[in-house]
Amino acid sequence: MQRDTRISRGRFLKVMGAAGVAGSTLSILACQPNTNPQQGGGGGGGPEEKKLNLYNWADYVAKSTVPGFEKETGIQVTQDFYSTNEDLLSKLRAGGTGYDVIVPSDYMVEIMIKSDILLPLDRSKIPNFKNIGENFRGLPYDPNNEYSVPYQWGTTGILYNKKELGQLEDSWEPMWSPEFEGKIGMLNDERETPGAALYKLGYSVNATDDEQLAEAEAELKKQKPLLRGYFDSTQNRPLVQNGDLLLGHVFSGDAFLVMSGNEDLDYIIPKPGATRWTDNMCIPKGAEHPDNAHKFINYILDAKVGAALTNYTYYNTPNDASLPMIDGALKKLPGYTLEPEVFDRLQVIEDVGEATRKYSRLFTEVKSS
């Protein structure tokens, strides 16, 4: 049975491939006269056309990143965006090929490796890998960095209005406090939000034990009447900023983005646990420009490019060589530069296999209550 699907998918890919080839032939013909003169054809040879299709999170490259790469290599970058790891996976599963570089988060890299949809990287083409810090090499989801190279990292915590609430303790309790009823926004995320409940209870964010999950579910059901709603991090950010919310569950970069212009806001990484995540650059199987993809990955890992990227995204860089060039004001924001003891309490969301569906049902149950 499995074979049948494989075959039909293979056939589908062939059709898509043929369409892609036809498309690219046309575009080669169309673009010939415009070939960038700066390039001069010196980029590693190969018959690859000067194109790269980047599939990334929205607003996740600096303004200078793509133009800089195009100027340096003569490779034209086409960008496409997704808003969740799951969107990315579905798109690839549905036969959405043609992407050369994708930027999945840690647990999604693991799923993609297990699903055999990533191309192994050729490290000899990524000399700048040497810039990656010790803490960000060989993470559990890809122990030898065979398929992935870190892009940015950050934490998931609480953005809140310090002016109204005063300085809060590093704790999840405020997100469950009846005092702030109607002024709390959690993430609309099947792992992060059950994860917050698990952290609060002192369990692992990757718990699969039914009793622990049931406790987490009870916590979330208790919390729900206090919530304004379940939002994306990019929604919670303006809601806290404009006062609709007092507390919002957000990704660190979203917090720093508003905190840099507003001293009334603060960000905490709660005890006893919170999420640390890493987004990674990978090349999906079926990429039409793998050589260009390696060049792009190497370009991002350059010290200056990496610093410009982080100074724009307000996340953290895994690039040690970029660290000295990170904006001083950004480094000083609370929760940006992490003390070792804070770093140690962070957990990485891992793929939980079968239990993924338990989390899905749990979150549906909570939202339905």
Partner 1 sequence: MGERKGRGWSLGLAGLLTPVTIWLGLFFLVPLLFILAYSFGTSGIYGEMTLGFNPGNYLRVFDPLYLEIVGRTLVIALTNTLLCLLLGYPLAYFIAFKGGRWKNILILLVMIPFWTSLLLRAYAWVVILSGNGIANRTLQFLGITDEPLLLIFTPQAVTMGMVYSYLPFMILPLYAALEKFDVRLKEAAQDLGASRWHTFWRVTFPLSMPGVIAGSILVFIPSAGEFVIPNLLGGARTVLVGNLIQAQFLQARDWAFGSALAVMLAALLVGAIMFYVRKVGAEKLEGV
Q: Is 14 near partner 1 (CB under 8 A)?
A: no
For residues 55-84, which are near partner 1 according to CB under 8 A?
Answer: 84
Q: Is 93 near partner 1 (CB under 8 A)?
A: yes
Closer by beta carbon to partner 1, 339 or else 354: 354
Q: Is 234 near partner 1 (CB under 8 A)?
A: no
For residues 183-212, which are near partner 1 according to CB under 8 A?
Answer: 185, 188, 190
Q: Contact, 127 vs 298, CB < 8 A?
A: yes
Q: Sign of the CA dihedral 156, 87, 103, 67?
A: negative
Q: Is 182 near partner 1 (CB under 8 A)?
A: yes
**Which contacts of 175-182 are long-range, i.e. CB under 8 A and separated by 24 or more positions?**
175/223, 175/247, 175/249, 176/200, 176/219, 176/222, 176/223, 176/226, 177/226, 178/226, 180/226, 180/246, 180/247, 181/225, 181/226, 182/226, 182/227, 182/228
Q: Segment contacting partner 1 (CB under 8 A): 237-245, 278-286, 329-337, 342-350?
A: 237-245
Q: Is 356 near partner 1 (CB under 8 A)?
A: yes
Q: Is 1 near partner 1 (CB under 8 A)?
A: yes
Q: Is 218 near partner 1 (CB under 8 A)?
A: no
Report in angstroms how near the CB of residue 185 gets to partner 1 at its nearest: 8
Burial per residue of 159-171, b for 16 or more beta-carbon CB atoms within 10 angstroms, e otherwise: bbbbeebeebeee
* 42 three-class SS: coil
Q: Is 115 near partner 1 (CB under 8 A)?
A: yes
Give every CB contact of residue 166 below 8 A, 6+ residues apart in sequence. Answer: none
Distances in whole angstroms, Cα of residue 10 to Cα of each of 17, 19, 20, 132: 10, 14, 15, 37
Q: Is 357 near partner 1 (CB under 8 A)?
A: yes
Q: Is 285 near partner 1 (CB under 8 A)?
A: no
Report in angstroms how near the CB of residue 207 gets to partner 1 at its nearest: 17
CA 96, 89, 133, 271: dihedral to nearest 10 degrees?
Answer: 160
Q: Is 163 near partner 1 (CB under 8 A)?
A: no
Q: Segment contacting partner 1 (CB under 8 A): 29-37, 46-54, 159-167, 223-231?
A: 223-231
Report in angstroms how near the CB of residue 156 gets to partner 1 at its nearest: 16
Say which DSSP state 105 is in.
Answer: B
Report in angstroms how near the CB of residue 87 gets to partner 1 at its nearest: 6
Give every CB contact of residue 275 below 8 A, 6+ residues apart in sequence. Answer: 155, 156, 192, 195, 205, 346, 347, 348, 349
- Count of chain residues binding partner 1 (CB under 8 A): 38
Residues found near partner 1 in the complex (CB under 8 A): 1-2, 4-5, 84, 86-87, 89-90, 93, 111, 114-115, 182, 185, 188, 190, 224, 227-231, 239, 242-244, 353-354, 356-357, 360-361, 363-365, 367-368
